[in-house]
Amino acid sequence: MKLIRFVIALLFLASVAIAQDRLPPRVVRVVGTSEVKVTPDVAVISIGVEKQNASASLAKRAADDAARRILADLRANGIAEKDMQTTFLSLQPQFNYRKGMRISYFVASQTLSITLRDLSRLDAVVESLIKAGANQVDSIDYQTSDLRKYRDQARDLAVKAAREKAQALAHALGQEVGKAYSIDEVPEPANSYSTGLMSNATSELTRSRQMGPTTAPGEKKIFASVVVSFDLN
């Protein structure tokens, strides 16, 4: 009988130990966020050409000729080959639904992405490209050439913000925080500040340029967010 009681006691103690191991750790879990504002020094311009013709081959040829002039103009403006890329190429028929789905004409279009590393030349380069044959300016995305540095800075600030928040919560309970128990980085939002420029008239660009810049880079915001669990003492 004593042996049975001894075994039961051991089993009970073992079950208590296992239950204690399953108890959640005493932690305070917080989210730390930060935002670093950066003045952009690079612009990525999306510019293109669109041509129409009743003949598919003639429409494509007209768009190709304009694209060649645009590429030649970019090289003349000192844009490196690595900073220009064709991102879209299309040849599509346009139908006349009133005449039984008959093809009225064809639309040929090309879009190029251009990285400009001197923002002071932005207006002049866009105006030059329009003179060369571009008739579409879709967007301008302002970026920073030192993104890694600012991302690291934002992460450091987010971690500091998390610790400060955890300390404030613990102090409100009359306790202290210890070492970090776990840390996870929250994916940064895929949004950024950018400005679009839309124009098809060279004369309007020339007139605006005489009055001053037509675009403004503003500020780019670099975000960081972390989830940190600290030991709660």
User: pLDDT by residue for the chain (233 residues), tens digit each?
Assistant: 445 543 444 444 455 445 445 545 688 899 999 999 999 999 999 999 999 999 999 999 999 999 999 999 999 999 999 999 999 999 999 888 776 778 889 999 999 999 999 999 999 999 999 999 999 999 999 999 999 999 999 999 999 999 999 999 999 999 999 999 889 988 875 554 433 333 333 344 444 455 677 788 888 899 999 999 999 88
Same domain, 149 and 172: yes
Same domain, 162 and 71: no
Question: What CATH number should be reported for the domain holding residue 233?
Answer: 3.30.110.170
Same domain, 174 and 90: no
Q: Which of 87, 74, 221, 46 is nearest to 143 (CA)?
A: 221
Q: Is the pTM of this model over 0.85?
A: no
In a domain, 13, yes or no: no
In a domain, 177, yes or no: yes
Range of the domain at 35: 23-40+144-191+217-233
Same domain, 160 and 183: yes
Handedness of CA 137, 139, 140, 143 (dihedral sign): negative
User: For residue 29, what are the β-bridge partners?
Assistant: 229
Ramachandran area for residue 191 (φ above 0: left; ψ -120 to 50: alpha; else beta): beta
Contact, 129 vs 68, CB < 8 A?
no
SS3 140: strand
Same domain, 103 and 151: no
In a domain, 5, yes or no: no
For the chain, what is the domain count?
2
Same domain, 133 and 163: no
In a domain, 68, yes or no: yes
Domain boundary among 84, 115, 143: 143
Provide the token pair at 129. Answer: 């490209």
Q: Identify the helix (H) or strand (E) that includes residue 156.
A: helix 147-172
Same domain, 34 and 148: yes
Kindly report the length of the chain.
Answer: 233
| CB burial of residue 140 (10 Å; 0-12, 13-18, 19+) | buried
- Please report the pLDDT score of residue 181 as a whole number: 85
